[in-house]
């Protein structure tokens, strides 16, 4: 019996190395778990049976192109699209002998914070199926939390790895922009999108990041890593300077239970030897959300213009009128959230408004980057809540887009600055996980892994949802 709920990717690799089970047996155990539990959760859109599996399985968010496997980005406008090639991250997973478990559910084109915007139905949180798993990588986070994958890849534009990791009680890394290739990724906002790992532990996260990171000639925005990815081992934080930005920790809407859990983690960092001080990010938090919701929709409106019913995916039939076919296909294929963002973005880029909106937002983005850079002259890592709240109920925010957008208010500023961020679980509030966000300077993933690992060991959170704890063996 393989206990997929508790098995980490590192432990699974050790079992394979010792030949205590075969890769095929491990892959089959996860498929059995998916059949047993995913009917309730809907973390996967489709699974892959790999009888010739040769390593630890991984789940892939459904915007990562996989040769021969349908890839829809959670949108009906891409229903039936089967890529003829693999994304670079998929190629690198293959090269590391990882087998593919399947494609995970997501908010359509990664636009959302709850995975309720999927064109194929919502994903539910393993801790409480009446609540959301976060988004847009909610399927990947739910799969890892529920033991339906040892680790997974997600994507993060405004918070889509960190926030679902927080709401599902797992670990998620949004890497420094440019360290992971975007080749073969269905684009949302090209200056912000980044692929990253979701896992049970910080060490698992580092292992998967090591596999996917590095320069790719197919993506000219990628760079060589300045240092190799290290697996964290130390359990102290002596010599680390930790900043606690007041605006990120006292923002309006942060639930008391979230504040309490994060404050405990901050005190624990002190006990582990870190030099902890308060600091400020006033402009980043005040202007971050509005800046993001000009830049991201503007880039989305440009990227999504290619979905016209001609080249791939859905085509709605009309009476031979090409323009009518474009309109009907986009009407039928896109959900409400992509339509909303396409309209916002098209307006921001339109003649007479470009400089006033998109151009101005890019200037604000530069100020946000400089404000973070100034703090990193004094600190190695910044700490804050990942999400202002624990997982909210399904349907609670679907009729209020602004309330939904505020779910990412704490993750967006560092994303705009292109900085790495790690979310680790730091406790429970109302019986649901609370996420602690660690933000580092550019290319400081190793520092984040060190801090995250030390806090993870000291917190001893335990990554099995309480409602699944008694029935984990498959």
**Does 61 qualify as catalytic in the annotation?**
yes
- Are β-strands 432-440 and 421-429 bridged in parallel, bridged antiparallel, or unpaired? antiparallel
Task: Dump strand ranges (E) for 249-394.
Answer: 275-279, 381-385
Q: Residues 24, 53: contact at Cβ < 8 Å?
A: yes
Radius of gyration (C-alpha) of the chain in whole angstroms: 21
Dihedral Cα 134, 138, 144, 148, nearest 10 deg: 130
Q: Where are the alpha helices (DSSP H) in 146-281?
A: 162-168, 202-212, 246-249, 256-271
Q: Cα–Cα distance between 14 and 8 in angstroms, integer?
A: 10
Phi first, then psi: what are they for 408, rounded to 5°? -105, 15
For residue 107, give the 3-state DSSP assignment. coil
Q: Which member of 136, 140, 384, 423 is catalytic?
A: 136
H, E, C per residue of 32-88: HHHHHHHHHHCCEEEECCCCCCCCCEEEEECCECECCECCCCCCHHHCCCCCCCCCH
| Cross-strand pairs, 46 | 103
Phi first, then psi: what are they for 441, rounded to 5°? -70, 170
Q: In sequence order, which residues have a C-beta less than 8 Å from that of residue 216 and are 6 or more positions away?
A: 88, 181, 183, 222
For residue 420, give the 3-state DSSP assignment. coil
Q: Residues 199, 145: contact at Cβ < 8 Å?
A: no
**Does 277 qualify as catalytic in the annotation?**
no
Q: Cα–Cα distance between 368 and 372 in angstroms, integer?
A: 6
**Residue 250: CA count within 13 A, CB half-sphere:** 9
- Residue-wise burial string across 243-279, b where 16 or more C-beta atoms lie within 10 A, e elsewhere: bbbebbbebeebbebbbebbeebbebbeebebebeeb
Q: Cα–Cα distance between 50 and 422 in angstroms, integer?
A: 31
**What are the structure tokens assigned to 428, written together?**
């429970």
**Does 160 qualify as catalytic in the annotation?**
yes
Q: Which member of 160, 181, 301, 384 is catalytic?
A: 160
Q: Cα–Cα distance between 80 and 74 in angstroms, integer?
A: 11
Q: Cα–Cα distance between 228 and 29 in angstroms, integer?
A: 33
For residue 235, give the 3-state DSSP assignment. coil
Residues marked as catalytic? 61, 136, 160
């Amino acid at each position: 019996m393989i206990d997929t709920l508790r098995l980490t990717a590192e432990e699974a690799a050790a079992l394979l190395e010792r030949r205590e089970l075969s890769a095929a047996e491990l892959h089959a155990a996860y498929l059995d778990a998916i059949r047993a539990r995913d009917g309730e959760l809907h973390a996967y859109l489709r699974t892959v049976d790999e009888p010739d599996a040769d390593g630890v399985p991984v789940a892939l968010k459904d915007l990562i192109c996989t040769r021969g496997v349908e890839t829809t980005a959670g949108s009906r406008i891409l229903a039936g699209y089967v890529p003829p090639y693999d994304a670079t991250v998929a190629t690198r997973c293959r090269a590391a002998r990882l087998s593919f478990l399947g494609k995970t559910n997501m908010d359509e084109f990664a636009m959302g914070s709850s995975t309720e915007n999927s064109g194929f139905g919502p994903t539910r949180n393993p801790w409480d199926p009446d609540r959301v798993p976060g988004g847009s990588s909610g399927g990947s986070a739910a799969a890892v939390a529920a033991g339906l994958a040892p680790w997974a890849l997600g994507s993060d534009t405004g918070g889509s790895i960190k926030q679902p990791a927080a709401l599902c009680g797992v670990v998620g890394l949004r890497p420094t922009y440019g360290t992971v290739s975007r080749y073969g990724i269905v684009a949302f906002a090209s200056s912000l999108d980044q692929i990253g790992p979701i896992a049970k532990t910080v060490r698992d996260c580092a292992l998967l990041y090591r596999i996917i990171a590095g320069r790719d000639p197919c993506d000219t925005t990628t760079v060589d890593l300045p240092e190799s990815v290290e697996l964290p081992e130390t359990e102290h934080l002596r010599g680390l300077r930790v900043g606690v930005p007041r605006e990120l920790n006292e923002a309006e809407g942060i639930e008391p239970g979230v504040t309490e859990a994060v404050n405990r983690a901050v005190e624990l960092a002190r006990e582990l030897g870190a030099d902890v001080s308060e600091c400020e990010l006033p402009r980043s938090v005040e202007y971050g959300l509005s800046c993001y919701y000009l830049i991201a929709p503007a880039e989305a409106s440009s990227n999504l213009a290619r979905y016209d019913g001609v080249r791939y995916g859905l085509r709605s039939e009309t009476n031979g009128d090409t323009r009518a076919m474009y309109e009907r296909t986009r009407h039928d294929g896109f959900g409400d959230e992509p339509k909303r963002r396409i309209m916002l973005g098209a307006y921001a880029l339109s003649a007479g408004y470009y400089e006033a909106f998109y151009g101005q937002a890019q200037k604000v983005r530069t100020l946000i980057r400089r404000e973070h850079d100034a703090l990193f002259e004094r600190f190695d890592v910044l700490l804050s809540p990942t999400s202002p709240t624990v997982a909210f109920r399904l349907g609670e925010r679907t009729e209020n887009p602004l309330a939904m957008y505020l779910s990412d208010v704490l993750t967006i500023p560092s994303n705009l600055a292109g900085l790495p961020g790690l979310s680790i679980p730091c406790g429970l509030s109302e019986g649901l996980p609370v996420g602690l966000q660690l933000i580092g300077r550019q290319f400081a993933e190793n520092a984040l892994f060190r801090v995250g690992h030390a806090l993870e060991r000291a917190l001893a959170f335990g990554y099995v949802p309480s409602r699944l704890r008694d029935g984990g063996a498959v």
